[in-house]
């Protein structure tokens, strides 16, 4: 065991700090302020469009993957070369448009319900 000749174990005092509710300095922390209603209303379309775009992009990627995979299988069975542009034009893009439209409608409905519920809770 390592022991320092200058400091003995008996000279070190182990004092514990008093236990508080948490370990952070609450006085130094800023209080959390809710964003103004104007900022909330301006962020709603941004959130809705972002969610719809990301879901459409994900659907496009998945549709493209499945379209290419399906075209490779069908061209292998028929013994012909696969035309990969079909995967983009007739499989992935229409699926992404439909999924994007559905995601846009669902996101609008969910945001409206959330804002209405939030407004009801504030009035209580």
What is d(CA 108, CA 45) in angstroms, rounded to the nearest whole number?
8
pLDDT at 110: 93
d(CA 54, CA 113): 21
The residues, ordered by sequence, that sit 6+ positions from 49 with a Cβ below 8 Å of its Cβ are 104
Q: Can you give the pTM of this predicted structure?
A: 0.65
Count the neighbouring beta carbons within 10 Å of the beta carbon of residue 75.
14
- Encode pLDDT of 34-69 as tens digits: 667 777 778 889 999 999 999 999 999 999 999 999
Q: What pLDDT score does 40 carry?
A: 76
Does the pLDDT value for residue 105 go beyond 60? Answer: yes
> Is the distance from CB of 59 to CB of 99 less than 8 angstroms?
yes
Q: Are 115 and 44 in contact (CB under 8 A)?
A: yes
pLDDT band at 14 (very low <50, low <70, confident <90, very high): low
Task: Give the contacts of 61 (CB within 8 A, at least 6 positions apart).
Answer: 92
Identify the CA nearest to 114 among candidates 53, 44, 46: 44
């Amino acid at each position: 065991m390592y022991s320092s000749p200058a400091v003995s174990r008996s000279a070190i005092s182990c004092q514990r700090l008093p236990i508080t509710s948490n370990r952070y300095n609450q006085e130094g922390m800023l209080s959390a302020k809710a964003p103004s209603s104007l900022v909330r209303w301006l962020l709603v379309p941004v959130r809705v469009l972002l969610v719809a775009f990301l879901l459409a992009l994900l659907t496009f990627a998945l549709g493209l993957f499945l379209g290419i995979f399906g075209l490779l299988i069908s061209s292998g069975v028929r013994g012909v070369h696969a035309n990969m542009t079909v995967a983009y034009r007739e499989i992935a893009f229409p699926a992404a448009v439909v999924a994007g439209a559905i995601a846009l409608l669902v996101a609008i409905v969910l945001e409206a319900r959330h804002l209405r519920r939030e407004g009801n809770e504030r009035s209580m």
